[in-house]
Amino acid sequence: MENSLQNQRKIMLSRATLIKITTAAFFVLVVYIIVMFIIDLPKTAKVKILVSPVDSKITLNQEVYSAGEKKIKPGDYKIKIERDGFKTQETELKISKGDQKYIYYCLTPEDNNKKWFKEHQKDDEVCNQIEQALNEIEKNETMTDPIFSITPYHNDDKRYYIDSILNQDNSITIKIKPLSCKADFKKILKQNALNFLKANKIDLDKYKIEYVEDC
Nearest to 161 by CA among 153, 170, 149, 172: 153
The domain in which residue 73 lies consists of 45-142
Residues 153 and 193 placed together within one structural domain of the fold: yes
pLDDT for 109 equals: 96
Structural domains of the chain, count? 3
Residues 131 and 153 placed together within one structural domain of the fold: no
Residues 58 and 120 placed together within one structural domain of the fold: yes
pLDDT for 138 equals: 84
Distances, alpha carbon 163 to alpha carbons 21, 73, 170, in Å: 70, 40, 16
Collapsing DSSP states into helix, strand and coil, what is residue 121? Answer: helix
Residues 67 and 13 placed together within one structural domain of the fold: no
CATH number at 130 reads 2.60.40.1120
For residues 52 and 161, what is the distance between their CA atoms, to the nearest angstrom?
A: 46
Residues 11 and 31 placed together within one structural domain of the fold: yes
Residues 116 and 103 placed together within one structural domain of the fold: yes
For residues 55 and 40, what is the distance between their CA atoms, to the nearest angstrom?
A: 26
Residues 168 and 107 placed together within one structural domain of the fold: no
Going from the first residue of the chain to its last (215 residues), give the mean pLDDT of each consecutive group of 10, the final group possibly shorter: 48 59 65 52 77 96 94 92 96 86 94 94 96 88 89 88 88 92 89 95 94 86
Contacts of 57 by beta carbon, 8 Å cutoff, 6+ apart: 64, 80, 81, 82, 83
Residues 71 and 121 placed together within one structural domain of the fold: yes
Nearest to 174 by CA among 214, 146, 215: 146
pLDDT for 81 equals: 97
Residues 57 and 127 placed together within one structural domain of the fold: yes
DSSP H helices, 114-182, are 116-119, 121-142, 147-150
Residues 77 and 96 placed together within one structural domain of the fold: yes
Residues 60 and 131 placed together within one structural domain of the fold: yes
Residues 84 and 129 placed together within one structural domain of the fold: yes
